[in-house]
Amino acid sequence: MKLKVINIRLTKEHLQKDEEELNQFLETVSVKKTSCQLINAQVNFWSIVVFYDQKPTREPRTSQLSKIAYTIDTALNEEEQKMPDSFKIWRQTRANELNLPTYMICSNSELTTLVKVRPDSIEKLASIKGFGDQKIAKFGEEIIAFLNSF
């Protein structure tokens, strides 16, 4: 565990800058404990002690903003029209098994996007909006196998 002391000066010219510095630091660490004290001096300030662990750095797979997404009203060709009903049956079965609402497995727009994109690997599946690490870990291989069966 590491320790950092941050002072937040309570003057108009420093307050915002000091708060921004604190917020930026807090975004990069896992806080374990804090302690603070108001210090009355020539310039009053809060002295904050932060006990923390460094967050593990991880490369994001793909930015959420650049992920692929289709809406449920996207036109499907003749071959694609056969897939959504089968996908919905699979989704309902998995939702019942896991005691979850169907949208937690895949939303309708995610199903449409799967049908349009037809990812054939985990990497391609990760490029679709709504498919993060957890959903891919739970359903990724099943979804790819399902798509390959068509």
pLDDT tens digit sequence for 91-139 = 999 999 999 888 889 999 999 999 999 999 999 999 999 999 999 999 9
Dihedral angle over CA of 91, 94, 96, 100, nearest 10: -80
Q: Label residue 81 by pLDDT band (50, 70, 90).
A: confident
- Across the beta sheet with 2-9, the strand order is 2-9, 45-54, 29-39
Q: Domain segments of the chain: what residues?
A: 2-54, 64-148
Position 51 pLDDT exceeds 60: yes
Q: Label residue 62 by pLDDT band (50, 70, 90).
A: very low
Average pLDDT value over all residues in the chain: 88
CATH of domain 64-148: 1.10.150.80
**Bridge partners, 50 (sequence order):** 4, 34
